Chain A
Amino acid sequence: MKLVRLALMSSLLSCSFYGVAADIKIGAAEALTGPAAKYGVAIKNGFTLALDEINAKGGVKGNKITLVMEDEQGKKEEAINVFKKLIFQDKVLMVFGPTLSNSAFAADPIAVAAKVVAFGTSNTASGITDMGPYVFRNSVMEQDVLPVVVKKAISHFKLSKVAVIYGNDDAFTKSGYDAFKLALEANKLPVTTTVTYAKGDIDFKAQLTKIKETNPDAIVCSCLVEEAANIVLQTRSLGMKQPFIGGNGFNSPKLFEIAKNAADDTLLGSPWSAENTSPANKAFMNGFKAKYGSEPDQFAAQAYDAMYILAEALGSITLTNNLEKDRAAIYEALPKVKHDGATGKFEFAKAPSKVGKESGYDAKQDAIVNIAKDGKFVLLK
Chain B
Amino acid sequence: MLSQQLLNALSLGSVYAVFALGFTLIFGVLGVINLSHGVIFMMGSYIALQLVTLLHLPIVLALVVAAILSGLLAVVIDWLVLRPLRARNAPHLAPMIATIGVSILLTSLIQGLMGAEIRRFPSGTLPEESITWGDLHITYVQIGIMVIAIMMMVGLWLLMKKTQLGRALRAIAESPKAAALLGIPVEKLFYCTSFMAGSLGGVAGVLVGLSFNAISPFMGQPMLHKGIAVIILGGMGDIRGALIGGLFLGFAEVFSVAYLSSDFRDAIAFGLLFLILLIKPSGLFGRILERKA
CA distance A200 to B130 in the complex (A): 24
Q: Which residues of B contact A206 (CB under 8 A)?
A: 5, 8-9, 12, 253-255, 257-258, 262
Which residues from 207 to 252 on chain A have a C-beta closer than 8 Å to any C-beta of chain B?
Answer: 207, 209-210, 212-213, 225-226, 229-230, 233, 237-239
Classify chain B: how many residues form its interface, as a range. 35 or more
Nearest chain B CB to A201 CB, angstrom units: 7
CA distance A347 to B117 in the complex (A): 32
- Tell which of A196, A210, A257 touches B120, judged by Cβ atoms closer than 8 Å: A257
Nearest chain B CB to A115 CB, angstrom units: 34
Instruction: Report how many residues on chain A are interfacial, defined by Cβ distance under 8 Å.
Output: 36
Residue A260 is within 8 A (CB to CB) of chain B in the complex: yes
Residue A338 is within 8 A (CB to CB) of chain B in the complex: no
CA distance A230 to B257 in the complex (A): 18
Residue B118 is within 8 A (CB to CB) of chain A in the complex: yes
Q: Which residues of A contact B111 (CB under 8 A)?
A: 33, 37
Residue A192 is within 8 A (CB to CB) of chain B in the complex: no
Q: Which residues of A contact B117 (CB under 8 A)?
A: 37-38, 254
Q: Which residues of A contact B139 (CB under 8 A)?
A: 237
Q: Which residues of A contact B265 (CB under 8 A)?
A: 196-198
Task: Given the known inter-chain contacts A200-B221, A206-B9, A210-B258, please indicate yes or no for A239 contacting B212, CB distance below 8 A.
Answer: no
CA distance A108 to B108 in the complex (A): 27
Output the nearest chain B residue to A208 by Cβ-Cβ distance.
B8
CA distance A293 to B222 in the complex (A): 33
Contact residues of A: prevailing secondary structure: helix
Question: Is B108 touching A209 in the complex (CB atoms < 8 A)?
Answer: no
Nearest chain B CB to A167 CB, angstrom units: 11
Question: Is A239 touching B132 in the complex (CB atoms < 8 A)?
Answer: yes
Output the nearest chain B residue to A168 by Cβ-Cβ distance.
B263
Q: Which residues of B contact A226 (CB under 8 A)?
A: 118, 214, 216
Output the nearest chain B residue to A197 by Cβ-Cβ distance.
B262
Residue A205 is within 8 A (CB to CB) of chain B in the complex: yes
Question: Is A213 touching B257 in the complex (CB atoms < 8 A)?
Answer: no
Output the nearest chain B residue to A38 by Cβ-Cβ distance.
B117
- Tell which of A168, A203, A233, A257 touches B12, judged by Cβ atoms closer than 8 Å: A203
Q: Which residues of B contact A258 (CB under 8 A)?
A: 118, 120, 213-214
Task: Given the known inter-chain contacts A35-B116, A198-B265, A207-B257, please indicate yes or no for A213 contacting B1, CB distance below 8 A.
Answer: yes
Residue B53 is within 8 A (CB to CB) of chain A in the complex: no
Residue B175 is within 8 A (CB to CB) of chain A in the complex: no
CA distance A238 to B118 in the complex (A): 22
Nearest chain B CB to A378 CB, angstrom units: 21
Task: Given the known inter-chain contacts A38-B117, A226-B118, A237-B130, please indicate yes or no for A202 contacting B262, CB distance below 8 A.
Answer: no
Question: Is A229 touching B132 in the complex (CB atoms < 8 A)?
Answer: no
CA distance A41 to B9 in the complex (A): 37
- Tell which of B253, B254, B263 touches A196, judged by Cβ atoms closer than 8 Å: B263
Residue B144 is within 8 A (CB to CB) of chain A in the complex: no
- Tell which of B8, B15, B137, B208 touches A239, judged by Cβ atoms closer than 8 Å: B137
Q: Which residues of B contact A257 (CB under 8 A)?
A: 120
Using a CB–CB distance below 8 Å, which chain B residues touch chain A?
1, 4-5, 8-9, 11-12, 15, 108, 111, 115-118, 120, 123, 128, 130, 132, 137, 139, 208, 212-214, 216, 218-219, 221-222, 253-255, 257-258, 262-263, 265-266
Subset of 20 A-B contacts with CB under 8 Å: A35-B116, A199-B222, A200-B222, A205-B4, A205-B8, A205-B11, A206-B5, A206-B9, A206-B253, A206-B262, A209-B1, A209-B5, A226-B118, A229-B214, A230-B213, A239-B130, A239-B132, A254-B118, A258-B213, A260-B123
